[in-house]
């Protein structure tokens, strides 16, 4: 762990030190300007990566926030006579506010619709800056002088060091944020927004916060951009810049501060490297070497198809050959960018820095961060009510889809401390009823009460916070998060550090407590050795158990298990039965939806049978499976004596 800490923090310190001392040997004003732009674009791409890398949305409006921040800072100086500190604060606020306002409607969209919404905002912003000549100067541009900072006039070198300091501050704050519960929430949103709400993590709140934060950093970068160039034109913040920024994020590596920094280096320095044939050929050769190493590694681990291994080699080889054949490499800039982007997207989906990070971890044998020792299970799952009194009460609940009565006038009571089975043939309304209870659907009519209080309707988030946790018939895990992070994300009542202190890195106690509680739950479900494994890489049976562990992290009053044995082999089913008994022994009340009647017979105290959206029987498992209506619903035979052989086949006793 010490080796990992020293390596990571040492690399950050060394990179910052190099950037800080470079100007001492740079006398060329053009080169210093490029280095300053590198620091500015580093801040800009860190903000863009929040949306593109963590939230998984294609954001085509980030150049607009750069422009808004630049003009906000410029106008604060030229019209209001503000100093640099006030102007930079205003540029950040403009990005934050406009980002939040755009996020409110746009983030209800997804995929191409979201991309088009941000593209429209970018086009509207460029048009506004161009046409509002009385304020922005329009196509003629806006000239400004670099104002003093707290009464101190900054030279070109001084302004560069200011940009480096701000980059370091942004890096530190974002590192602390993205390593916390906020970062896990941002990543989880890409995989399943439904599961996020069901785990008590507000999808909409985190999406808006993430987008607004990234936009605020875009505004800050815009203010620095204005003071670096001291001349602004609307044409500088158009779609072409946005494509270059996305290229930087993808090439550098998503979900990585180092990736954002490397991407900034590429988009700032690459156009200038193209004008020097020798440097371009060296860059192309380095790219070809990286493609060969990546292909060899993929072949050794059998982690990529033949096309994924060979296509980047072909593309980078084409760059090497092309460097000797064309007269002016700079005129082929767009084609070169396209080949580089193709190579990285196909061969290095995690970007250059993602590949380098994995390579260094393996080569240097850097141990992963230590996981806190598991907490005592008693401190994680305190005993719940087991007094047999009504816990969940449904009265005349209906849910209609047009003319389809999926749930039709259902009334039932789930008592505290019981395992209440919910069964029925396919299409009987089980899943719809569970979705109504958990808040995925709002009931068309009827009343629901939990512990005597009205249960929220139509909101997974509110129902989760009321004390109902659930699993899903179709797994809704956060595939790109580890098993440990899946459980840590859902933990209730652990994260208490205010955001301001979290940004300063003062939330480590919360993180250690969360790790300990999550490990206790993984131990309970037999997943302690899979804590660092990505959810997508677990076996199917382990994924089922992980989803239960994650639901238990909510410390639920009522746990809903939606067909937990679906698709499991018989040994896994028996393991599951033991685990559910262990959970129930702690007094946790459970609604179990299941097709395996041996599981129902072993676990359930009471069983409710649905058919056609109605309750047709209720009682103990032995009574229910011999009920004439149940026999008819399942087997199409009304008389028990005729159906006895079929009963034994369909509902085997344990």
pLDDT digits (tens, 9 = 90+) for 428-439: 888 899 999 999
pLDDT on residue 58: 82
Per-residue pLDDT for 645 more than 50?
no
DSSP structural state of residue 605: S
pLDDT band at 2 (very low <50, low <70, confident <90, very high): low
Per-residue pLDDT for 273 more than 70?
no
In a domain, 288, yes or no: yes
The token duo for 222 is 């815009």
- The torsion defined by the Cα of 362, 363, 366 and 371, in degrees rounded to 10, comes to 10
575, 571, 568, 616: which is closest to 594 by C-alpha? 568
Rounded (10°) angle between helices 257-273 and 29-49: 140
pLDDT on residue 12: 79
Share above pLDDT 90 across residues of the chain, in percent, rounded to a whole number? 37
How does the average pLDDT of the chain come out, rounded?
Answer: 84
* Close Cβ partners of 200 (under 8 Å, ≥ 6 residues apart): 461, 464, 465, 490, 492, 554
Per-residue pLDDT for 488 more than 90?
yes
Of residues 193 and 332, the one with the higher pLDDT is: 193
* Average pLDDT rounded to a whole number, residues 533-539: 92
CB 68 within 8 A of CB 95: yes
Per-residue pLDDT for 640 more than 70?
no
Distance CA 653, CA 531 (A): 36
In a domain, 305, yes or no: yes
CB atoms within 10 A of CB 250: 21
CB 190 within 8 A of CB 51: no
Distance CA 549, CA 31 (A): 55
In a domain, 27, yes or no: no
Per-residue pLDDT for 111 more than 80?
no
- Mean pLDDT lowest for which of 353-362, 363-372, 490-499, 540-549? 363-372
pLDDT, tens only, 143-174: 999 998 888 888 888 999 999 999 999 999 99
- Mean pLDDT lowest for which of 166-175, 423-432, 635-644? 635-644
Per-residue pLDDT for 265 more than 80?
yes
CB 168 within 8 A of CB 162: no
In a domain, 295, yes or no: yes
Distance CA 226, CA 137 (A): 14
Rounded (10°) angle between helices 62-78 and 84-106: 150
- Mean pLDDT lowest for which of 46-50, 350-354, 451-455, 587-591? 350-354
Distance CA 176, CA 164 (A): 18
* Average pLDDT rounded to a whole number, residues 603-627: 87
CB atoms within 10 A of CB 60: 22
In a domain, 496, yes or no: no
CB 631 within 8 A of CB 647: yes
Host domain of residue 344 = 274-367
Share above pLDDT 70 across residues of the chain, in percent, rounded to a whole number? 88
pLDDT on residue 250: 84
pLDDT on residue 71: 95
Distance CA 546, CA 368 (A): 21
- The torsion defined by the Cα of 29, 228, 220 and 233, in degrees rounded to 10, comes to -130
pLDDT band at 75 (very low <50, low <70, confident <90, very high): very high
Q: Which helix (H) or strand (E) holds 606?
A: strand 606-611
* Average pLDDT rounded to a whole number, residues 209-230: 94
The token duo for 367 is 């141990």
Distance CA 537, CA 328 (A): 47
Q: What is the 3-state secondary structure (H, E, C) of 25-94?
A: HCCCHHHHHHHHHHHHHHHHHHHHHHHHHHCCCCCCCHHHHHHHHHHHHHHHHHCCCCCHHHHHHHHHHH
The total domain count for the chain is 1
pLDDT on residue 163: 94
In a domain, 342, yes or no: yes
In a domain, 596, yes or no: no
pLDDT band at 634 (very low <50, low <70, confident <90, very high): low
Measuring CA to CA, how many Å separate 302 from each of 189, 294, 296, 315, 317?
29, 12, 10, 21, 23
151 backbone dihedrals φ, ψ, rounded to 5°: 85, 0
Per-residue pLDDT for 404 more than 80?
yes
Measuring CA to CA, how many Å separate 46 from each of 16, 163, 174, 216, 258?
16, 14, 8, 11, 9
pLDDT band at 104 (very low <50, low <70, confident <90, very high): confident
pLDDT band at 654 (very low <50, low <70, confident <90, very high): very low
In a domain, 285, yes or no: yes
CB 457 within 8 A of CB 442: yes
* Average pLDDT rounded to a whole number, residues 286-314: 71
* Average pLDDT rounded to a whole number, residues 622-637: 75
């Amino acid at each position: 762990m010490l080796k990992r800490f020293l390596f990571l923090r040492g690399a950050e310190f060394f990179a910052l030190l190099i950037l800080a001392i470079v100007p001492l040997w740079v006398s060329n004003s053009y080169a210093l300007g490029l280095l300053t732009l590198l620091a500015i674009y580093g801040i800009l791409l860190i903000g863009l990566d929040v949306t593109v890398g963590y939230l998984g949305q294609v954001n085509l409006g980030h150049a607009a926030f750069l422009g808004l921040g630049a003009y906000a800072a410029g106008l604060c100086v030229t019209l209001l006579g503000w100093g640099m500190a006030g102007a930079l604060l205003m540029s950040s606020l403009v990005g934050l506010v406009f980002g939040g306002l755009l996020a409110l409607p746009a983030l209800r969209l997804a995929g191409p619709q979201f991309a088009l919404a941000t593209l429209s905002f970018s086009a509207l912003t460029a048009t506004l800056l161009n046409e509002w000549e009385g304020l922005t100067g329009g196509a003629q541009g806006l000239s400004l002088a670099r104002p003093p900072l707290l009464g101190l006039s900054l030279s070109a070198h001084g302004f560069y060091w200011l940009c480096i300091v701000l980059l370091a501050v942004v890096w530190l704050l974002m590192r602390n944020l993205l390593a916390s519960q906020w970062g896990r929430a941002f990543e989880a949103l890409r995989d399943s927004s439904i599961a996020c709400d069901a785990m008590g993590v507000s999808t909409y709140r985190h999406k808006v916060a993430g987008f607004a934060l990234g936009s605020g950093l875009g505004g800050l970068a815009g203010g620095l951009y204005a003071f670096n160039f001291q001349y602004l034109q609307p044409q500088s913040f158009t779609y072409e810049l946005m494509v270059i920024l996305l290229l930087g994020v993808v090439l550098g590596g998503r979900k990585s501060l180092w990736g954002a920094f490397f991407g900034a280096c590429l988009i700032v320095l690459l156009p200038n490297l193209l004008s020097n044939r020798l440097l371009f050929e060296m860059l192309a050769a380095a790219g070809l070497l990286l493609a060969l190493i990546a292909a060899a590694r993929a072949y050794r681990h059998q982690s990529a198809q033949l096309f994924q291994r060979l296509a980047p080699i072909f593309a980078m080889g084409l760059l090497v050959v092309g460097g000797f054949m064309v007269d002016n490499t700079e005129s082929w800039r767009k084609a070169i960018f396209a080949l580089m982007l193709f190579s990285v997207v196909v061969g290095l989906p995690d970007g250059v820095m993602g590949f380098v990070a994995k390579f260094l971890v393996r080569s240097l044998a850097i141990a992963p961060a230590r996981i806190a020792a598991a907490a005592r299970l008693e401190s994680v799952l305190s005993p719940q009510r087991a007094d047999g009194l009504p816990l969940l009460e449904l009265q005349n609940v209906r849910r209609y889809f047009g003319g389809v009565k999926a749930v039709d006038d259902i009334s039932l009571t789930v008592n505290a401390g019981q395992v209440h089975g919910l069964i029925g043939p396919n299409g009987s309304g089980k899943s719809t009823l569970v979705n109504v209870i958990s808040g995925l659907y709002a009931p068309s009519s009827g009343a629901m009460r939990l512990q005597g209080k009205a249960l929220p309707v139509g909101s997974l988030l509110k129902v989760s916070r009321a004390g109902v946790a659930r699993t899903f018939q179709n797994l809704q895990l956060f595939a790109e998060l580890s098993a440990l992070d899946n459980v840590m994300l859902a933990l209730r009542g652990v994260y208490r550090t205010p955001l301001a202190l979290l940004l300063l890195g003062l939330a480590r106690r919360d993180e250690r407590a969360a790790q300990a509680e999550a490990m206790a739950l993984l131990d309970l479900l037999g997943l302690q050795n899979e804590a660092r494994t990505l959810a997508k890489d677990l076996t199917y049976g382990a994924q089922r158990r992980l989803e239960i562990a994650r639901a238990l992290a909510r410390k639920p009053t009522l746990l809903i298990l939606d067909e937990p044995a679906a698709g499991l082999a018989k040994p896994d089913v028996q393991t599951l039965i033991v685990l559910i008994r262990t959970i129930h022994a702690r007094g946790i009340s459970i609604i179990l939806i299941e097709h395996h009647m041996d599981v129902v017979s072993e676990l359930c105290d009471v069983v409710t049978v649905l058919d056609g959206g109605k309750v047709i029987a209720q009682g103990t498992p032995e009574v229910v499976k011999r009920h004439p209506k149940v026999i008819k619903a399942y087997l199409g035979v009304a008389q028990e004596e005729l159906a006895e052989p079929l009963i034994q086949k369909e509902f085997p006793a344990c």
